[in-house]
Structures are given as C-alpha cells and as structure tokens.
Amino acid sequence: MPKTNGAKRAYGCVFCVTGKEQVVAQHMEQTGDDIRAIVARQSKRKTVQGKTNVEEAVLFPGYVFFDAPEDTEITQKFSNRNVLSILTSETGDWRLYGGDAEVVQWLFSYNGLLTLSEAYQEGDRIRIIAGPLKGLEGQIIRIVKRDRSAQVAIPFCNRVSKVWLGFEIVEKNQ
C-alpha cells in the first residue's frame, strides 16, 4: 500500500508491450516512489473436454494503471524497454480525470480483478447490479451458453472495450 504523506493522489496509465503488463507493473512499483500499479484482469469461465474452470485473463492488453501523488513527475520515471508510452492528455498531463479516473479508482478498489458477473441475451442493453462491475452499463454482443458467459461492450477511455462476463447479476436497461 502506498504511503500518502498527506499528498493528494491521482491515477494514470501507461501503454506497454502486450504480454508484459505484470512485469511493467512490478517495475513501476519498484522504481517509483509511493506508486501503486495494477494490471486489470478478469475471471473467465473456460470449458475444455466438458470440464468448466475459471481462469484469469488481462482485461486491457497493453495497459497498466497506476496511482501516484498528483505532483509526481512521471515523464522519465518508468523508462523500461517494455513501456511504450505514458498516456497523456493533449496538454501533456499524465493524470486521468472524470470518468477515466473513476474507472481506474474502481479497478483499484477490486485490486484489478473483475470476477464473474451475469448477462441476459445478445443485443440487450444492460446495467450490472452486483459484483465488481456494479453500476457499469453496456451492450451484450455475444453469448456462449456452454461457458455460461457473454461478451459485453463497455465504454472506457473514449472507446468501447469488449469484456467477457459470466451469467450472474445484471438487469436490462429500460
């Protein structure tokens, strides 16, 4: 857990080599003063030879989110061959604001792991009413009944991300 020393915190994001997210997150925490980094992961059901297991997968390949004192100078702090860039605004600010910061704060509240949630049918607009995705809205794109999971399009960072969810706890939007 980061030391706060009374400093106000902010959230940011780095873009890295896909598949190296955990290595980058560990490097960021080891080299950054008072920085916490996470890789957003999701639990997924997978059925092989009739046996269903739950496994984890990276939710946003190539992205690592971090929490740091808001006055931290980030530009050179995370130099690493696996870090491609620090995401910044048009003004060069690394801090996330508004809905983007809320999503990352929410990810940190679940330690980066989104467990299984439920869906209804393809094309439905849904709102997740329980579980780690509670409160998010999206649209069901595809359902795999055998795995009891669905692919849902959820808006994030000015784009739509597709996330696989288990059939557990959602309601249709009216």
Number of domains in the chain: 2
97 against 159, higher pLDDT: 97
48 phi and psi, to 5 degrees?
-130, 125
Concatenated DSSP letters for 77-88? TT--TTEEEE--
The domain of 133 spans 125-172
SS3 at position 172: strand
90 and 130 within one domain: no
Mean pLDDT, rounded, for 36-46: 89
Mean pLDDT, rounded, for 11-31: 92
Residue 49: predicted pLDDT: 86
Residue 3 forms part of a structural domain:
no
Q: Is the dihedral of CA 21, 23, 25, 28 positive or negative?
A: negative
pTM here is 0.64
73 and 105 within one domain: yes
Mean pLDDT, rounded, for 77-85: 81
Give the mean pLDDT of the chain. 81
Name which of 38-52, 72-86, 159-173 the model is least confident about: 159-173
Which domain CATH number covers 156? 2.30.30.30
41 and 106 within one domain: yes
147 against 55, higher pLDDT: 55
Could you say which of 93, 114, 135 is where a domain stops? 114
Beta strands of the chain (E only): which ranges? 9-16, 36-38, 41-48, 51-58, 63-69, 83-86, 113-114, 125-128, 137-144, 149-156, 159-166, 170-172
| Residue 87: how many other CB atoms lie within 10 Å | 15
Could you say which of 94, 114, 134 is where a domain stops? 114
Residue 120 forms part of a structural domain:
no
